Amino acid sequence: MAPELMHRVPYDHSVDIWALGILMYDMMCGGPPFTGDSKEEIKTKIQCGVIKYPKKLSSQCKTVIKALLTRNVQKRITPELKSDDDVSHFDSYFTDLPPIESPCKKVREDNDCCADGEVDDAFDGFDGNNWFTNEWNSHI
């Protein structure tokens, strides 16, 4: 959770930049940058704790993660967006491609059974394409 969310102040896409920094740290270092025995301890570390970087991490990687995990929103690295739909920072090779709907594959047949021959009802409430049915939604 980005520090500005804990302060309950208005926020924008910069919280996503913070989340990317958390994800990159986790992937590169093998765990999250902020840990603790309680939620309060973790919140305190997010707001003012020192982030420790393993020696094996390259200086370039540390620089990127530090830029993403800057607590001061005004100093946090972020792309300048012209609008909510701005894709000018993406390679035009991808943005010029026509959109293609991903096909949804059928997950199972209606008469599928478990290995022991019993009827498997684990997917009750889903239709054959794994979308929630009205019947399932009515229980919410």
Closest CA relative to residue 80, chosen from 9, 4, 12? 12
> Does the pTM of the predicted model rise above 0.95?
no
Q: Which of 41-45, 101-105, 128-132 has the highest mean pLDDT?
A: 41-45
Closest CA relative to residue 130, chosen from 107, 113, 103? 107
Domain assignment present for 119: yes
pLDDT of residue 66: 96
120 lies in the same domain as 59: no
Tens digit of each residue's pLDDT (9 = 90 or more) over 26-79? 999 999 999 999 999 999 999 999 999 999 999 999 999 999 999 999 999 988
Domain assignment present for 96: no
- Average pLDDT, whole number, for the chain? 82
Domain assignment present for 120: yes
Residue 100's pLDDT band (cuts 50, 70, 90): confident
Distances (CA, A) of 64 to 11, 106, 108, 116: 21, 41, 44, 52
Which residues, in sequence order, are CB contacts of 13 under 8 Å at separation 6+?
A: 78, 81
14 phi and psi, to 5 degrees? Answer: -65, -25
pLDDT of residue 47: 93
Split into its structural domains, the chain has a count of 2
CA distance 76 to 21: 11
Domain assignment present for 85: no
Transcribe 26-51 into DSSP letters: HHHHSS-S---SSHHHHHHHHHHPPP
Residue 2's pLDDT band (cuts 50, 70, 90): very high
138 lies in the same domain as 70: no
Domain CATH code at residue 49: 1.10.510.10
pLDDT at 136 over 50: no
CA distance 68 to 17: 6
Tell me the average pLDDT across 97-108: 75
pLDDT of residue 12: 87
Residue 101, token pair as written in the block: 């709907």
Domain assignment present for 91: no
Question: What range does the domain containing 49 cover?
Answer: 3-79
Tell me the average pLDDT across 94-115: 71
- Other C-beta atoms lying within 10 Å of the C-beta of residue 9: 9
Residue 60, token pair as written in the block: 């370039």
112 lies in the same domain as 61: no
112 lies in the same domain as 71: no
pLDDT at 104 over 90: no
